[in-house]
């Protein structure tokens, strides 16, 4: 059985212990070759800390991660969104690896071959390896024999081109995790080293303790900023500019663009639904009577007919009642739901079959095929199947375990149908043979799960899609709009035709998707080659045609004051409201220094925040109010405070019920707790800081 089929089916493949020398040879081979880059070309997708990254290497890494994802999830097809996510994941991993390696080299940090070997197959196996389902035993937990089996299987001599490809994919899978583990170990070393320089000290410990030592209950009145109209204050352009200059460092930006665009959705027209209905009705009678159901379905349906059996759980929900209440030959439909026409025909009902079967085998190469009949006869006469497998089977990995292959699931793609059909039709301990170009397999059923009801169903399903005529019409509409279009006419012509104009701002070179448009990278590539006011030709985005005009082009640096005016104006309005409210509160408190009286004036009630201390993150139900928490921590008990400018409004407080933590100060414990909290964020913080300071030239836009 192919290596990757073993992984995907989570089969139990136990083998005898392989000597350490063999393991060292296998892993050593990968240690020497796993991290090397191949010949570079002039096509540079990125330059990271002075090192050029060739597009071929980057693409190979994407293909490798794609295969890893398929193996890990069992999925064979990826949608556009997942493909984009994997591509971005490869980019992030590549950047992290190059930056980390550069820093580690400066510090003399490295991962030796012996160290990596220990974490891959030694006595200290890394969690990343232990968590792989490919190396899990029958109980779902990590199995060292399973890992040994996997590594040993990579050294098989392929007997067919398909087997060769499977082994190559499995090697790539292992190489990926080998590299990932190596980078993880290196990052652990680097982070451990850096952490020694950012440990908490005695002053930090004392501050942390003192911050939690005293708690008070706080009664308060708050007037939210929204209670005062924006028109009550005035903000000038000079004030906005002054605030911008003070906060300019907050407004750093990467190069970005903005567009207005019109999306022409490619969806079926009325004529397409009419044609689809005519088509399904024309097939209806033939579907009911034809002897070649597979040919008819596979020539016309979105769902291929493979003869698979459906259970109550796997049959489409709308066909459940029909499938298990009907009899062989019954036909369902045609029906129309969710833009899809469906017909179904019961090919066989009343099936009682297991979901899984456990097998063992003896594999004979063509030169030994003559022994098959004698071996089968010996087994029927009571000979030990396992002993015969160890002696005669050509597949050493299973032979060492008495020929055991593991559990085979019904309906799994990629498994030889002849094996599947025979295995599920036989009883426990029954023997059968399978012959093909590779040799003869003598197989025996070891165990089966309990049988349950199933039905063989042929489903003819066709989703209504745009015809070529519809596709051409929508494209021509988009082309007609784009032809000779200018930025000045874009809005007026669009409105005249009833088209909806949508804006998209802050488009970065790394932006993968604009709004809900699939394959949006085509738009991103166009806009970064355009000038302000340019209008695109028709951009084909899969399910939509897009015509766009560039509305803004912003260089790397700082956002303009105009770009952040609304934000700055809102901040200034809030500050000025606070000044008015503080002045008003101060006047009222001078007359009646009482929270109850102030609350009555506001038409509100006095609220409470209990157990407030200097280390608190939240101020009762008011949320994040650090200024109020700070004032409460040092306020005189029972005294009404002066107005406090908070995040959500202006507060007036009064504290009571002061409580002190009786636990004495333990400097060692405080430092340990502070370092523990820091350890969670430090790895990310360190890598992010290195990335912010790194010299990275990202040319992906030229390729994707």
CA distance 619 to 107: 45
Any domain includes 98:
yes
Q: What is the mean pLDDT of residues 230-248?
A: 95
Residue 702, domain member (yes or no): no
636 or 412: which leads in pLDDT = 636
Q: How much is the average pLDDT of 435-453?
A: 89
Domain-terminating residue out of 523, 555, 587: 555
* Per-residue pLDDT, 14: 25
Looking at residue 1, what is its pLDDT? Answer: 35
Same domain for 361 and 505, yes or no, is: no
**pLDDT exceeds 80 at position 672:** yes
Q: Are 340 and 328 found together in one domain?
A: yes
Reported as a pLDDT band with limits 50, 70 and 90, residue 413 is low
Residues 617 and 648 in one domain: yes
CA distance 51 to 417: 50
Predicted local distance difference test score (pLDDT) of residue 209: 85
What's 437's domain CATH number? 3.10.50.40
Q: What is the pLDDT of residues 182-229, one digit of tens each?
A: 999 998 898 888 877 778 888 988 888 888 889 999 999 999 999 999
335 or 199: which carries more pLDDT confidence? Answer: 335
- Which residues sit opposite 503 in a β-bridge? 260
pLDDT at 195: 79
| Number of folded domains that form the chain | 5
Flag whether 698 is in a domain. Answer: no
Distance CA 458, CA 541 (A): 34
Least confident of 1-5, 117-121, 700-704: 1-5
- Quick check: is 699 in a domain? no
Query: What whole-number distance in Å separates Cα of residue 698 and Cα of residue 701?
Result: 8
Q: Which of 99-113, 201-215, 398-412 has the lowest mean pLDDT?
A: 398-412
| CB neighbour list of residue 508: distance below 8 Å, 6 or more residues apart | 254, 255, 256
pLDDT of residue 37: 34
Residues 360 and 303 in one domain: no
Residues 595 and 494 in one domain: no
pLDDT of residue 5: 40
Task: Tell me the pLDDT band of 387, cut-offs 50, 70 and 90.
Answer: very high
- Structural domain contains residue 204: no
pTM of the model as a whole: 0.68
Looking at per-residue confidence, does 415 or 410 come out higher?
A: 410
Give the pLDDT band (50/70/90) at residue 23.
very low
Last residue of a domain, one of 415, 449, 483: 449
pLDDT in tens, 514-565: 999 999 999 999 999 999 999 999 999 999 999 999 999 999 999 999 999 9
Mean pLDDT of the chain: 87
Is residue 72 in some structural domain? yes
Measured between alpha carbons, how far is 549 from 551 in angstroms, rounded to an integer? 6
Query: Which of these three, 555, 590, 614, is where a domain ends?
Result: 555
3-class SS at 252?
strand
Q: Which pLDDT score is estimated for 115?
A: 93
Q: Is residue 678, in this structure, part of any structural domain at all?
A: no
**Strand spans (E) along 582-634:** 607-612
pLDDT score of 412:
65
What would the DSSP string read from start to end of 53-109? EEHHHHHHHHHHHHHHHHHHH--S---HHHHHHHHHHHHHHHHHHHHHHHHHHHHT-
Let me know whether 41 and 176 are in one domain: yes
Strands (E), 185-276: 214-224, 252-253, 256-265
Q: Which of 623, 596, 591 is closest to 607 using CA atoms?
A: 596
Asked if residue 32 is part of any domain, the answer here is yes
Same domain, 61 and 158: yes
Over 50: is that where the pLDDT of 599 sits? yes
What DSSP state is assigned to residue 122?
S
**493/577 same-domain check:** no
Mean pLDDT for the stretch of residues 242-271? 95
State the pLDDT at residue 384.
Answer: 93
Residue 421's CB is within 10 A of a number of other CB atoms, namely 12
pLDDT(30) > 50: no
Q: Measure the CA–CA gap between 441 and 439, rounded to whole angstroms.
A: 7
Domain that holds residue 617: 209-252+563-660
Q: Report pLDDT for 10.
A: 35
**Is residue 190 domain-shared with residue 134, that is, in the same domain?**
yes
- In a shared domain, residues 349 and 360: no
> Based on the domain organization, do 135 and 248 belong to the same domain?
no
**What strand order describes the sheet that includes 649-660?**
607-612, 214-224, 649-660, 644-645
Of residues 339 and 438, more confidently modeled:
339
Pair 115, 26 in one domain = yes
Given a cut of 90, whether residue 681 has pLDDT beyond it is: no
Using the predicted structure, report yes or no on whether residue 27 has a pLDDT greater than 70: no
pLDDT in tens, 626-654: 999 999 999 999 999 999 999 999 999 99
Q: What is the DSSP letter of 397?
A: H
d(CA 56, CA 37): 10
**409: DSSP letter:** E
């Amino acid at each position: 059985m192919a290596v990757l089929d073993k992984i995907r089916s989570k089969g139990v493949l136990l083998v005898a212990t392989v000597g350490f020398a063999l393991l060292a040879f296998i892993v050593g081979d990968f240690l020497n070759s796993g991290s090397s880059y191949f010949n570079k070309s002039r096509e540079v997708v990125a330059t990271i800390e002075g090192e050029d990254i060739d597009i071929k290497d980057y693409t190979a890494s994407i293909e490798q991660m794609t295969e890893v994802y398929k193996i890990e999830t069992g999925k064979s097809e990826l949608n556009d969104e997942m493909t984009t996510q994997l591509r971005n994941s490869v980019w992030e991993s590549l950047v992290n690896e190059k930056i980390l390696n550069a820093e580690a080299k400066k510090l003399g940090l490295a991962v030796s071959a012996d160290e990596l070997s220990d974490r891959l197959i030694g006595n200290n196996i890394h969690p990343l390896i232990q968590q792989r389902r490919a190396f899990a035993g029958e109980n779902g937990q990590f199995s060292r024999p399973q890992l040994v089996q996997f590594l040993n299987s990579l050294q098989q001599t392929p007997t067919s081109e398909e087997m060769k490809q499977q082994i190559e994919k499995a090697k790539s899978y292992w190489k990926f995790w080998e590299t990932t583990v190596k980078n993880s170990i290196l990052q652990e070393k680097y982070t451990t080293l850096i952490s020694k320089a950012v440990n908490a000290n005695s002053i930090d410990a004392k501050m942390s303790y003192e911050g939690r030592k005293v708690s008070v209950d706080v009664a308060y009145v708050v007037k939210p900023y929204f209670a005062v109209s924006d028109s009550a204050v005035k903000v000038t352009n000079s004030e906005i500019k002054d605030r911008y200059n003070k906060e300019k460092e907050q407004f750093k930006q990467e190069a970005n663009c903005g567009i207005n665009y019109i999306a022409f959705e490619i969806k079926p027209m009325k004529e397409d639904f009419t044609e689809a209905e005519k088509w399904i009705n024309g097939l209806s009678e033939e579907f009911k009577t034809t002897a070649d159901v597979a040919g008819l379905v596979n020539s016309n349906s979105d769902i291929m007919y493979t003869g698979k059996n459906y259970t109550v759980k796997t049959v489409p929900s709308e066909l459940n009642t029909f499938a298990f209440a009907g009899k062989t030959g019954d036909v369902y439909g045609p029906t129309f739901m969710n833009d899809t026409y469906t017909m179904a025909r019961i090919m066989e009902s009343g099936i009682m079959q297991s979901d899984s079967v456990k097998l063992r085998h003896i594999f004979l190469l063509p030169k030994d095929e003559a022994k098959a009949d004698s071996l089968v006869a010996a087994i029927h006469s009571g000979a030990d199947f396992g002993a015969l497998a160890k002696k005669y089977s050509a597949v050493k990995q299973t032979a060492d375990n008495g020929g055991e292959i593991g559990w085979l699931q019904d309906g799994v793609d990629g498994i030889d149908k002849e094996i599947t059909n025979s295995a599920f039709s036989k009883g426990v301990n029954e023997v059968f043979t399978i012959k093909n170009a590779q040799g003869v397999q003598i197989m025996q059923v070891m165990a089966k799960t309990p049988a349950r009801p199933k039905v063989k169903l042929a489903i003819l399903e066709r989703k209504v899609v745009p015809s070529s005529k519809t596709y051409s019409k929508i494209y021509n509409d988009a082309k007609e709009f784009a032809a000779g279009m200018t930025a000045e006419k874009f809005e007026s012509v669009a409105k005249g035709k009833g088209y909806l104009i949508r804006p998209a701002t802050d488009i970065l070179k790394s932006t993968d998707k604009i709004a809900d448009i699939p394959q949006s990278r085509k738009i991103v590539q166009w806009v970064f080659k355009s000038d302000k006011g340019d209008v695109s030709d028709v951009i084909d985005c899969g399910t939509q045609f897009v015509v766009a005009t560039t509305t803004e082009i912003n260089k790397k640096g700082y956002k303009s004051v105009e770009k952040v005016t609304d934000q700055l104006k809102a901040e200034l309005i809030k500050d000025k409201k606070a000044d008015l409210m503080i002045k008003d509160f101060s006047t009222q408190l001078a007359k009646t220094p009482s929270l109850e009286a102030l609350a009555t004036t506001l038409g509100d009630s006095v609220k409470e925040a209990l157990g407030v201390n200097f280390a608190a993150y939240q101020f009762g139900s008011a949320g994040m109010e650090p200024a109020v928490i700070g004032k409460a921590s040092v306020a005189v008990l029972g005294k009404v405070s002066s107005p406090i400018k908070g995040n959500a409004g202006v507060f007036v407080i009064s504290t009571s019920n002061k409580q002190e933590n009786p636990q004495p100060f333990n400097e060692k414990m405080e430092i340990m707790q502070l370092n523990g909290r820091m350890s969670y964020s430090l790895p990310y913080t360190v890598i992010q800081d290195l990335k912010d300071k790194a010299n990275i030239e990202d040319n992906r836009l030229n390729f994707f």
